[in-house]
Amino acid sequence: MLDLIVRQANLPDGRMPMDLAIQGDKIVAIAPRIEAEALQEIDATGRLVAPPFVDPHFHMDATLSLGTPRLNDSGTLLEGIALWGELKPMLTPEAVMERALRYCDLAVSQGLLSIRSHVDVCDDRLTAVEALIEVRKRVAPYIDLQLVAFPQDGLYRTPTAEENLLRALDMGVDVVGGIPHFERTMAEGARSVLRLCEIAAERGLRLDLHCDESDDPMSRHVETLAAEATRLGLGARVVASHVTAMHSYDNYYASKLIPLIAESGMTVVPNPLINITLQGRSDTYPRRRGLTRVPELRAAGVNVAFGQDCTMDPWYSLGSADMLEVAHMGVHAVPMTSREAMAWAFTSVTQNGAAAMGLPDPTLREGGPANMVVLQARDPIEAVRLKATRLAVIKRGNVLSRTPPRIAALDLPGRAATLDPAAYAPTTSERPD
Ligand code: FE2
């Protein structure tokens, strides 16, 4: 007697229909028809069953604090940082934990089971660090939560930031963070990249920098990061987050930079929901979109994973822990509308995010962990289109959450997966020169 069988699922790679047999916390078989009984069955006929979603870039210490102590009037990154600075002295561990745990409940219902959260260390009390370490422990049965020691106000712009960052790592924070474009000068920004890479190398840790989140074409810290990642052999342990300035670089410089990024082996994490609203604020018209160069990075072989960044905090009033909403915005903001690119957007918020965080490949396979989401969609593109309902969320063989299907009218006829494979090619405008 098996513990669970998920019947007649569509898998993201196009195999369908397939039964998935689960015993304990493992998938023990995947086959067109499994003649066995189970304590529990889920009918997934015509539904996509995929690995859980991954958010490789989030700020759990600030989430759900919208309006405290006030709203961001200008909508800019800089006012958001200033506003967070007003809230920081008022933080208590209890309040941070209460918001974070509420967010984690929402995340589970959305099938979001792996999250990398930055945690601000520019607070000598390290209130948020202490709170999120406790949250990481409490949610461990259902969410893989990684924490990044993030000097929000600048490693060298704040007198105690470096000391606090090292203290946070000593307390058990997982990843080294930074924000070179917010240091006082370009030179100090570059110096912070060198120092943070050394800390990561010395301690054998991963590194994830907010890098060039700016419209300034001269903000070029990702170049230093790529060079240091290569020099120190940090490779796939490195993430460059945001990198919006790459939108504003001239094409010649970008053509030199992107191979350097590829050579380093680092991941790039664009955050389309937040950056489509934050960037270009000082432009008149035309107004820049401000997303990094996703098709060119992909073509160079760089791992690109979309992140969410914010949900109802000083920087962003919206958000709902929905990585399909993130992928949906990525498709629009890049833009990339070929079927190949839209299917890739789904991978970007599953497998690519896991690679960014250094987690095992979550592809559903025999012998792999029984972690999956049953979606009210037939295939990855439909899931992105509908921001599909998470009918069931399964972690280590346990059904954590169920949501009733939305209106039946969503079940339109037709099946994208039956399209000619030639349809899965980049559009002319997505093909890098
Ligand atoms: Fe961020």
3-state secondary structure the chain: CEEEEEEEEECCCCCCCEEEEEECCEEEEEECCCCCCEEEEEECCCCEEECCEEEEEECCCCCCCCCCCCCCCCCCHHHHHHHHHHHHHHCCHHHHHHHHHHHHHHHHHCCEEEEEEEEECCCCCCHHHHHHHHHHHHHCCCCEEEEEEECCCCCCCCCCHHHHHHHHHHHCCCEEEECHHHCCCHHHHHHHHHHHHHHHHHHCCEEEEEECCCCCCCCCHHHHHHHHHHHCCCHHHEEEEECHHHHCCCHHHHHHHHHHHHHHCCEEECCHHHHHHHCCCCCCCCCCCCCCCHHHHHHCCCEECCCCECCCCCCCCCCCCCHHHHHHHHHHHCCCCCHHHHHHHHHHCCHHHHHHHCCCCCCCCCCCECCEEEECCCCHHHHHHHCCCEEEEEECCEEEEECCCCCHHHCCCCCHHHCCHHHCCCCHHHCCC
Ligand 1 centroid–CA 57 distance in Å is 6
Shared domain for 189 and 261, answered yes or no, is yes
Type of residue at 37? E
pLDDT of residue 204: 98
Segment 140-164, tens digit of pLDDT: 999 999 999 999 999 999 999 999 9
Ligand 1 centroid–CA 214 distance in Å is 12
Ligand 1 centroid–CA 274 distance in Å is 9
- Is residue 321, in this structure, part of any structural domain at all? yes
pLDDT of residue 424: 80
pLDDT of residue 410: 57
pLDDT of residue 412: 55
- Is residue 239, in this structure, part of any structural domain at all? yes
Shared domain for 109 and 37, answered yes or no, is no
pLDDT of residue 411: 58
Task: Mark which of 357, 376, 401 sits at the end of a domain.
Answer: 357
In the predicted model, what is the mean pLDDT of the chain? 95
Ligand 1 centroid–CA 209 distance in Å is 9
Task: Mark which of 357, 375, 398 sits at the end of a domain.
Answer: 357
Ligand 1 centroid–CA 134 distance in Å is 21
What is the dihedral sign for C-alpha 406, 409, 411, 416? negative
Shared domain for 123 and 266, answered yes or no, is yes
pLDDT of residue 371: 98
CATH number at residue 385: 2.30.40.10
pLDDT of residue 382: 96
Ligand 1 centroid–CA 315 distance in Å is 9
pLDDT of residue 179: 98
Neighbours of 54 (CB within 10 A): 27
- 213 is a catalytic site residue: yes
Task: Mark which of 357, 375, 403 sits at the end of a domain.
Answer: 357
Q: Structural domain of residue 414, as residue ranges? A: 2-51+364-424
- Is residue 429, in this structure, part of any structural domain at all? no
What parts of the chain have a pLDDT lower than 50?
416-418
Shared domain for 277 and 342, answered yes or no, is yes
Catalytic residue among 41, 86, 213, 340: 213
Shared domain for 262 and 306, answered yes or no, is yes
Shared domain for 111 and 165, answered yes or no, is yes
Ligand 1 centroid–CA 58 distance in Å is 6
Tell me which residue has tokens 């073509």.
Answer: 299
Shared domain for 406 and 281, answered yes or no, is no
